[in-house]
Amino acid sequence: MTGYHCLAIPGPTNMPFEIRQAMERPLEDHRAPDFGEFTLPLLEDLKEIFRTQTGRVFVFPSSGTGGWESAIANTLNEGDKVLTSVFGHFSHLWADMCRRFKLDVDVINEAWGRGVPLDKYRELLEKDKSHSIRAVLVCHNETATGVTSDVMAVRQILDDLSHPALLFVDGVSSIGSLEFHMDYWGVDVAVCASQKGFMMPTGLAIVGVSKRASSLCEKANLPRCFFDFSTMARMNDDGYFPYTPSTNLLRGLRASVDLLLKEGLDDVYRRHFRLAEGVRRAVLAWGLSLCADSPELSSDTVTAIKVGPGIDANEIIKCAYYDFKVSLGGGLSHLNGSVFRIGHLGWTNETMILQALGGVELAMLKSGVLFEPGVGVAAAIKHYSGTKRLVLQAA
């Protein structure tokens, strides 16, 4: 088939030319005497993306899963109690990792489509008079269900109860796209990755760490080597890494950070909301429903769409891919076959969203879904034409 492929999954996302260009360079000496002149400003500017002045940001050659592991291994001890909630595939995986590290995991299981259960967090933390809960885990944006939870509300609970538990946040599909304030929200470890809001290839785990979390490294007895914060910090202080870094990805990360900061983080957040709202209006026009239980939970980076009884979401996904060159996200775990997902994060604009929505309509029609052709695209166009456009600018 002729024409470009439409990438409408929630990661990896579309990559700007400026980032591709930055990475297209000869390999370089990562021990060169002037390498720190490149890396030190980059690490400093990453703090602005996380909105932290007091913490620091580490970059590991890994995926977000490695970032999860670093949060656990550098701050906790075997048998420590952690509180978390599972309401989707990725919150489940992080809880499972905690069990593999032989932590005492207190899991609140919620229906997939709901968010962090604030009332249950408060109840369990209030009962914890001895402060045996050492860390509270929050999946800020559950990519599998298109649900965004309120991190600040969790911090408020901890503060109200004067509970000293660490606050860990999975921001893999939120940081760089959705509003995030590491210092103001009192986040101790925030994990994200290069292939989503940073608009890059997979390969970097980007981890924000508070001073309090950093101070726990010496006492933490869980096994770690590759993801050791202390070792990384000592080398980063001079602009280097404890092992061979992916220099080309770091060059791409430099371009990514430049793009985000030039656009302005507040404008990045507003753009994502506006584009996501167009997708949500299209879904309602089709007569379908969101996986997110309520509007306030709806994610601005990914929309998970329930297809209803008698319809196989996987057939829509296959038809979109093979017949119309559109990649959609599938339903994960027990949502397989009942949900398809549209990613709308990173380097994207109105016409890219409309292309994806048009491809979805063609695939749904061919798969036997009944709706009026064009109604979803029209709903999105009405929204975009009636709201202010924020122009993405090149670095």
Residue 174: give its domain's CATH number. 3.40.640.10
Average pLDDT over residues 335-349: 97
Domain with residue 367: its CATH number is 3.90.1150.10
- At 83, is the secondary structure helix, strand, or coil? strand
319 plus 238 within the same structural domain: no
Residue 395 has pLDDT above 80, yes or no: no
More confident residue, 305 or 389: 305
245 plus 275 within the same structural domain: no
Residue 390 has pLDDT above 90, yes or no: no
Rounding to the nearest 10 degrees, give the CA dihedral for residues 176, 180, 184, 186. Answer: -100
Q: How confident is the model at residue 387 (pLDDT cuts 50, 70, 90)?
A: confident
Domain closes at, from 230, 262, 294: 262
Residue 269 has pLDDT above 50, yes or no: yes
Burial of 302: CB neighbours in 10 Å, binned 0-12, 13-18, 19+: buried
CA distance 273 to 276: 5
41 plus 71 within the same structural domain: yes
70 plus 93 within the same structural domain: yes
Domain closes at, from 241, 262, 283: 262
In a domain, 303, yes or no: yes
221 plus 276 within the same structural domain: no
Alpha helix ranges (H) inside 227-326: 229-236, 247-263, 265-286, 313-324
In a domain, 391, yes or no: no
In a domain, 166, yes or no: yes
In a domain, 256, yes or no: yes
Residue 167 has pLDDT above 90, yes or no: yes
Domain closes at, from 216, 234, 262: 262
In a domain, 170, yes or no: yes
Structurally, the chain folds into a number of domains equal to 2
For 92-131, what is each residue's pLDDT tens digit?
999 999 999 999 999 999 999 999 999 999 999 999 999 9
In a domain, 119, yes or no: yes
217 plus 363 within the same structural domain: no
256 plus 268 within the same structural domain: no
In a domain, 208, yes or no: yes
Cα separation values, 146 from 149, 266, 338, Å: 10, 21, 14
197 plus 313 within the same structural domain: no
54 plus 200 within the same structural domain: yes
Average pLDDT over residues 19-36: 97
362 plus 223 within the same structural domain: no
141 plus 172 within the same structural domain: yes
What's the whole-number average pLDDT of the chain? 96
Residue 394 has pLDDT above 60, yes or no: no
Residue 304: domain span: 6-13+264-385
CB-based contacts of 310, cutoff 8 Å, min separation 6: none
φ/ψ of 104, rounded to 5, equals -90, 100
Strand partners, 227: none
Q: Which of 295, 275, 298, 282 is nearest to 345 (CA)?
A: 275
Average pLDDT over residues 209-227: 96
362 plus 351 within the same structural domain: yes
Residue 1 has pLDDT above 80, yes or no: no
The pTM for the full model equals 0.95
Residue 232 has pLDDT above 60, yes or no: yes
Burial of 30: CB neighbours in 10 Å, binned 0-12, 13-18, 19+: middle
CA distance 374 to 196: 29
Cα separation values, 325 from 52, 153, 232, 319, Å: 40, 41, 42, 9
Cis peptide before 12 (omega within 30 of 0): yes
Please report the DSSP string for 62-79 in residue order.
S-HHHHHHHHHHTT--TT
Residue 391 has pLDDT above 50, yes or no: yes
The pLDDT assigned to 112 comes to 98
Report strand pairing: 189-193 vs 204-209: antiparallel
In a domain, 394, yes or no: no
